[in-house]
Each structure stands twice: as C-alpha cells, then as structure tokens.
Amino acid sequence: MALSHAIMTALLDEELSGYDLTRRFETSLGFFWESSHQQIYRELRQLSERGWLQATPVVQDGRPDKILYALTEDGRKALAEWVQGPTNLKRAKDDLFVKLYNIGHCDPAPVLAEIRRRQEQHAARLALYEKIRQRHYAVPEQLSAHRKGIYLALAAGIRHERMYLDWCDEALTLLKDVASAEP
Amino acid sequence: MALSHAIMTALLDEELSGYDLTRRFETSLGFFWESSHQQIYRELRQLSERGWLQATPVVQDGRPDKILYALTEDGRKALAEWVQGPTNLKRAKDDLFVKLYNIGHCDPAPVLAEIRRRQEQHAARLALYEKIRQRHYAVPEQLSAHRKGIYLALAAGIRHERMYLDWCDEALTLLKDVASAEP
DNA sequence: CTTTGATACGCAACTTATTGCATATCTAAG
DNA sequence: CTTAGATATGCAATAAGTTGCGTATCAAAG
C-alpha cells in the first residue's frame, strides 16, 4: 500500500481534488511515483471511507464541481506510522534488462534502437530536473528540513538519469559491432 | 506482461523446472526481476496452456518428482516479437522517496536510519556484482553477443549500486543536523 | 453554433503481484 | 528415530495496477 501514502503525502499541507492530485502525479511527486487518475479516484474513496481523508464537495462556477480532500488527524497518524515503519527495497523491473538477455538469440537492432530512445528520454528528464534544481534548490544547505527532503528525492533523480546516460554510452559502444555482425 | 517473458528468456537454452526457475530468480535474472515461486508456477501453467511452453513431467528417484518446461517454437516467436516491440519506461517507485517528502512533518530519525540500512544493502549488492564481473566478465569486449547482453545488465546493476551509495552519502551529510534539530 | 480542449469524475473488466497457507519426498545430522 | 533442511509444487484470498470506456460542464476559437 504505497499509492495511498503518496496521496496522503501530497495532502500534507494542502487540500486537493482528485484532478489536482492527478496533475501532481504528472510532476513533482510523479517523477518518482506514477499513477492513473482512475486509481487515484478509487484510492481517494477508500481513504475517505477509512477516515484518513475528509471529503468536501465544492460547487464551482465556470467549471464542473469537484471534491476536495483533506488529511484527517487519523490520516496524519497513519502516515507518520508508515514513515516510521520499515521500507522494503524493490528491484527496478526494467523490461530492457530482460531484453538484453535475449541478445544473441534475437535480432539485436531493436534493442539498440531502444537504448538510443532511452538515451533521449533520460537526457530530457535530466535537463528538466537540473532546471528545477537550479531554480528552487540551488543551495541545499540553506533549505528547511522539509525542502531538504524533497531536494534529496530530486537529487536521486538527477543521479539516476546521469547514471543511466553513462550506461547507455557504455552499452552502445560495446554493442556497436554486434548490431551488424550477428543475426 | 513481463514475468512471462523473463521466464521464457531463462528457458532460451535450457529446460528448467519451476523450482529451478525460482532459484534463477534469486540470482542472475533475479538481480533485475524479482518474483515469488507461487507466481512463477502460475505463470508456467498459463504459458503451457497458451502453447508457449512444453511441460514434461519427470519422475525422480531420491527426490520429489518435477515438471520440466521447455520453450516451444511458438514461444520463441512470441518472445522475439516482444523483444522487437516497444519498451515502456517505468518509474522506480521507491517508498523511500515518498518518505523523504515527509521530512519536516514527521520525526526524521527513522528515515535517516532507513538510508543507513540502504547504504549497507547496496554496498553488499555492489560487492556481489563486482565479484561476478571480475570472475566472468573481466574483458567485456571479448564476450559473445549473448554474454555482452548479460554483462550490460550486470554493468547497469553496478552503476546503479554505486550511484545509490553516493546518494546515501549526500543525503546523510545534508540531513545530519536535521536529525537532532527538528521534531 | 459547433468543435476542441481543459476540467472533473467515475465504472467495469482484467491482469499482475503479494501473502499466507498447505503438502509431499528424501537426505543428513544428531 | 526424529528433526531440520533442501527439493518440489500448488491453492486461495487479497491488494494493486492497467485498460477501455463513459459522463458531464464550461470557455474559447472558428
């Protein structure tokens, strides 16, 4: 159960609607945690039923009505307990690595192409993260505790993208003659 | 559907039982793809029903009987198609990053402790991967295409562990006064 | 006055993954 | 002789995630 905690984390200091949360999960928090709007809405309903969120319908003018969700005291307590509890480390589960095991049995060209695509994607992400860092987290030592936490998540993202790009270089160099040579 | 492809990949050049596969998923392939034996057995049954695997019961002497699974021609074709197809990139979904967002709202001590635990886990993994590299992949340029692929998965693992360890250092340094200061 | 697009919400069906439990056989150690 | 441990397989229940579809409202552009 982790999406629920990610949602509650997003609600730590603001009330948000399902739609707002969907936006959040496309940026910031979403850099580390993806989710579809369908699942977010379902999770929100379940969390309200469990008493961890307070739902407030808001009638709007000029746009469709919405439901704002706020973290309750119970929710805050449950979240704190989860943060305090143990975290189990999970493997990445990247399909590309499984595909790499198939080189030598399949045509390697599509795998090579995929690595090049990754190179672009990760370069784009890195650029985005770097920009955010420069704008909002230029001097990490001077940030509040809360923002240090967020900065560190961003820093992990930056390190990850750099690492991945370096790996792509290594992979493309090592495989450059494989592409044409073997079937 | 990716576990099924990981299983088929493991069966590329040997017949294995569910038990054997469970072992494989605790080492080698398992460094990048975790799975429980229950799920593996279920997947094996489904893949046999779909005709992608051929199941052969083997009566054993001295130990319990088993079922050996081999990749069929159809299975090989399906796997090749999957390798050729697009790969969608997935976010890591590490709970620890969500927890980082909670620093400043919760007691940060347990998060710090978790980062130290990660440091140990990743150091251990790195040592293991390095050992495997030294033993079997010392000169990557001279490997066959197939083993180059496996080596690159290992290389990604090594880079990942190193990157994570560096990040842990950064995090612990940045948070070292937060631990005592804020509630 | 119609289309496009953003906002706002959700159901249903399906697949995938996790957790807990259960059952055997045989070896080797004590 | 009994117990621990490796080998070998599985069911059932639950949780989590994905995919496809459906319903609205309203603004602004054409």
Residues B100 and B168 in one domain: yes
Question: Is residue A123 in a domain?
Answer: yes
Indicate yes or no: CB of B175 within 8 angstroms of CB of A148: yes
Question: Is residue A89 in a domain?
Answer: no
Question: Is residue B167 in a domain?
Answer: yes
Query: For B106-132, what is each residue's pLDDT tens digit?
Result: 899 999 999 999 999 999 999 999 999
Contact assessment for residue B52 and residue B74, using Cβ atoms and an 8 Å cutoff: yes
Residues A135 and A162 in one domain: yes
Name the least confident of A17-31, A99-113, B21-35, B51-65: B51-65
Residues B80 and B145 in one domain: no
Q: Which of A2, A21, A3, A1 is nearest to A70 (CA)?
A: A21
Estimate the crossing angle of helix A145-175 against helix A109-136, to 10 degrees.
150
E-only strand ranges, chain B? 16-17, 53-58, 66-71
Nearest chain A residue to B173 by CA distance is A141
Residues B107 and B153 in one domain: yes
Amino acid at A77: K
Contact assessment for residue B55 and residue B48, using Cβ atoms and an 8 Å cutoff: yes
Residues B129 and B150 in one domain: yes
- Domain count of the fold of chain A: 2
Q: State the DSSP string of B6-41.
A: HHHHHTSSS-EEHHHHHHHTTSGGGGT----HHHHH
Question: Is residue B130 in a domain?
Answer: yes
A88 SS3 class: coil
Buried b (16+ CB within 10 A) or exposed e, A133-147: beeebeebeebebbb
Amino acid at B149: G
Instruction: Print the domain residue range for B51.
Output: 3-84
Residues B74 and B8 in one domain: yes
Query: For B56-107, what is each residue's pLDDT tens digit?
Result: 988 877 777 889 999 999 999 999 999 998 888 888 788 999 999 999 998 9
Residues A100 and A175 in one domain: yes
Question: Is residue B89 in a domain?
Answer: no
Please give the Cα distance from A115 to A95 (Å, whole number): 12
**In sequence order, which residues have a C-beta less than 8 Å from that of residue B93 and are 6 or more positions away?**
A2, A32, A33, A34, A90
Is it the case that residue A92 has pLDDT exceeding 90?
no
CATH of the domain at A34: 1.10.10.10
Is it the case that residue A72 has pLDDT exceeding 90?
yes
Nearest chain B residue to A97 by CA distance is B153
Distance from CA of A177 to the nearest CA of B (A): 9
Of B31, B54, B84, which residue is a domain's last? Answer: B84
B86 touches strand D (CB under 7 A): no
Out of A87, A121, A148, name the one closest to residue B103 (CB).
A148
Residues B57 and B125 in one domain: no
B98 SS3 class: helix
Interface of B with A in 55-84 (CB under 8 A): 79-80, 82-84
A22 touches strand D (CB under 7 A): no
